[in-house]
Amino acid sequence: MIAVIVLVAVIVATLAVGTALRTRSGTLRTTGAGASAGTHELHPALATAGVGDGVPVVLHFSAPWCGPCAAVRRVVVQVLARDPGRAREVELDLDENPVLARKLGVLSLPTTFVFDGEGRERFRASGVPSVDDLRTALSSL
């Protein structure tokens, strides 16, 4: 009887964790809005990619083997096409940029970041962000 109760508890806990993770997938979360401009240090690979040159950047990590990464590309193109010049897109291959991915804490694909014009990380999403969420994030910069 105790084994059945333990098994049921494990199943319930597993379902709860899975539901919580699925609920967060694609949601843009605020990350560095309170960062002080004086203490901000831009990673050289981000600077090389054009982050921090005065224009907000939507950076997303992808890989050829990642199916949902194509959906992120479509969302980013749709958002940036509405207001050309407002922000720039940078797509980095995870397999070619493992050090930067590790530095930014990328744990899964696709992962999308929104950096302000000074190169500070302001938002991030694991999964495919919605068009509305990405527009809202960019409009706040």
> What pLDDT tens digit does each residue of the chain (141 aa) get?
787 777 777 777 666 555 544 545 678 788 865 444 445 678 898 999 889 999 999 999 999 999 999 999 999 999 999 988 899 999 999 999 999 999 999 999 999 999 999 999 999 999 999 999 999 999 998
The yes-or-no answer on residue 17 being catalytic is no
Q: Which of 69, 72, 94, 104 is catalytic?
A: 69
Q: Which of 35, 42, 63, 66 is catalytic?
A: 66
What is the DSSP secondary-structure string of the chain? Answer: -HHHHHHHHHHHHHHHHHHHHHHHTT--EE-STT--GGG----HHHHHTTTTSSS-EEEEEE-TT-SHHHHHHHHHHHHHHHSTTS-EEEEEETTT-HHHHHHHT--SSSEEEEE-TTS-EEEEEES---HHHHHHHHHT-
The yes-or-no answer on residue 66 being catalytic is yes
